């Protein structure tokens, strides 16, 4: 069966790593019709819009998108184009696996865990009130009235909404993901002992959802501060972690650090019947056009995409080719070399060529 996939090259290093990933995915033999769409600087230059409606429509139509990183020019009215895409398409689940591959410089071995982060609410909902503004003063007065707490008049305010609906949706997604991917345990991570009505609601919902998976998936709960320590001390104890937006963002970077950094951290943003796959890293503009950076995170995002498309054999082939190239340590980019100045380091396209050569 042939799949239609929207391809957004992105900017900075985006086009280089997106092309490397596309070539590797095609080399698995899966039939994909790529439909290119623009977002970011290219879209602004061509259509006068950083995020054209036609790009969102293409993703809605094709249901699957592979996206290169996009930088957000300052002063454009967007906090982040990447976040705008997630919001516009209601991609509520951010899935970020953290897995060690032999040959990657890392303090740990045998880590294989998955962060499932809620993508739409929490302190990242973008509801903020600037210090000194009249509306901020009104909000402060209201909070003092109902919250019976004093707030300094020169405060800025960020609002943390967490709903039962969005919590249930992400927690159910995490359990179902665990079931489908032969995982054993889901840990809900919050600060429910302090933020009782937001994190507390998330945890209460998690306990309820967990009952539907009793006997199939183990459920555990943890506080986010303690989880940060445990992840550093004994990361192998964890399997699937489900978290509200902010903690998910922070701990997914921590987990990327555990397994060797941004060069190897893939990601997926999943909504109802629709998904956008992208590396965790950004557009690293200083490396633009140098054919130098590591394409692995983007290629592994392609592995996640192939699994989403139920092309499991192709996904396994590609992941194992990536693992072999990394384990050999020869045709890898500078950041995977013991000495980053090693002149024998592969280029972005060179590493992709080596991976393609290993796909059987
Ligand atoms: P970044 O991830 O782009 O780069 C930080 C550093 O990490 C780089 O200087 C480089 O040393 C290293 N790095 C990143 N990707 C690498 C790779 N593939 N191989 C080797 N090294 C790599 O983060 P930044 O500099 O904070 O952000 C640059 C731009 O990217 C900003 O405009 C930001 O908004 C955007 N951004 C986009 C996304 C996304 O598209 N999802 C995510 C994060 C940041």
The per-residue pLDDT for range 173-222, each reduced to its tens digit, is 999 999 999 999 999 999 999 999 999 999 999 999 999 999 999 999 99
CA dihedral 276, 82, 100, 213 (to 10 degrees): -60
Catalytic residue list contains 124: yes
Task: Answer for the pair 248, 115: CB distance below 8 angstroms, yes or no.
Answer: yes
Distance 256 CA to ligand 1 centre (A): 13
d(CA 9, CA 298): 11
Nearest atom within ligand 1 for CA of residue 81 = 40
Contacts of 145 (CB under 8 A, 6+ apart): none
**247 is known as an active-site residue:** no
Q: Round the average pLDDT of the chain to a whole number and report it.
A: 95
Residue 51 is classified by DSSP as: S
| Tens digits of residue pLDDT in 15-60 | 999 999 999 999 999 999 999 999 998 898 889 899 999 999 999 9
Q: Say how many Å lie between the CA of residue 290 and the centre of ligand 1.
A: 15
Rounded to whole angstroms, the Cα distance separating 117 from 233 reads 22
Q: Which of 21, 69, 250, 335 to mutate to test the pocket of ligand 1 (most atoms within 8 A of CB)?
A: 69
Q: Ligand 1 centre and the CA of 137: distance in Å?
A: 37
How far is Cα 189 from Cα 226, in angstroms, rounded to an integer?
Answer: 9
To test ligand 1's pocket by mutation, which of 18, 72, 95, 281 has the most ligand atoms within 8 angstroms of CB?
Answer: 281
Q: Which residues of 34-46 are buried (b: 16+ CB within 10 A; e: fewer)?
A: eeebbbbbbbbee
State the pLDDT confidence band at 77, using cuts at 50, 70 and 90. Answer: low
Residue range 213-242, pLDDT digits in tens: 999 999 999 999 999 999 999 999 999 999
pLDDT confidence tier of residue 75, bands split at 50, 70 and 90: low
Site residues for ligand 1, CB cut-off 6 Å: 17, 69-72, 80, 82, 262-263, 278, 281-284, 286, 293-294, 297, 335
pTM: 0.93
**Is 234 an annotated catalytic residue?**
no
Dist CA 120 CA 110 (whole Å): 31
């Amino acid at each position: 069966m042939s799949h239609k996939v929207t391809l957004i090259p992105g900017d900075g290093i985006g086009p280089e790593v997106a092309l490397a990933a596309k070539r590797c995915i095609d080399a698995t033999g899966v039939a994909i019709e790529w439909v290119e769409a623009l977002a970011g600087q290219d879209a602004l230059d061509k259509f006068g819009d950083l995020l054209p409606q036609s790009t969102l429509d293409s993703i809605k139509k094709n249901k699957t998108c592979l996206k290169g990183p996009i930088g957000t020019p300052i002063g454009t009215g967007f906090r982040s184009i990447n976040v705008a895409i997630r919001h516009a398409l209601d991609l509520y689940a951010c899935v970020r696996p953290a897995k060690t591959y032999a040959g990657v410089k890392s303090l740990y071995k045998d880590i294989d865990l998955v962060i499932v982060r809620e993508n739409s609410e929490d302190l990242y909902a973008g509801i903020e009130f600037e210090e000194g503004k009249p509306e901020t003063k009104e909000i402060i007065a209201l909070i003092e009235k109902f919250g019976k707490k004093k707030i300094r008049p020169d405060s800025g305010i960020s609002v943390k909404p967490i709903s039962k609906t969005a919590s249930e949706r992400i927690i159910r997604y995490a359990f179902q993901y665990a079931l489908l991917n032969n995982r054993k345990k889901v840990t809900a991570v919050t600060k429910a002992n302090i933020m009782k009505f937001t994190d507390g609601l998330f945890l209460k919902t998690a306990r309820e959802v967990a009952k539907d998976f009793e006997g199939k998936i183990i459920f555990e709960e943890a506080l986010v501060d303690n989880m940060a320590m445990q992840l550093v001390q004994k990361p192998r104890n964890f399997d699937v972690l489900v978290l509200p937006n902010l903690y998910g963002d922070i701990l997914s970077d921590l987990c990327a650090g555990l397994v060797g950094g941004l060069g190897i951290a893939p990601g997926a943003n999943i909504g109802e019947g629709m998904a956008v796959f992208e590396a965790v890293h950004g557009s690293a503009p200083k490396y633009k056009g140098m054919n130098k950076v590591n394409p692995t995170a983007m290629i592994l995002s392609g592995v996640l995409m192939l699994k989403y498309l139920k092309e499991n054999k192709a996904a396994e082939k590609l992941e194992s080719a990536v693992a072999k190239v990394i384990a050999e340590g020869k045709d890898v980019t500078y950041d995977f070399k013991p000495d980053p100045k090693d002149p024998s380091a592969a280029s972005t396209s060179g590493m992709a060529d080596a991976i393609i050569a290993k796909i059987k």
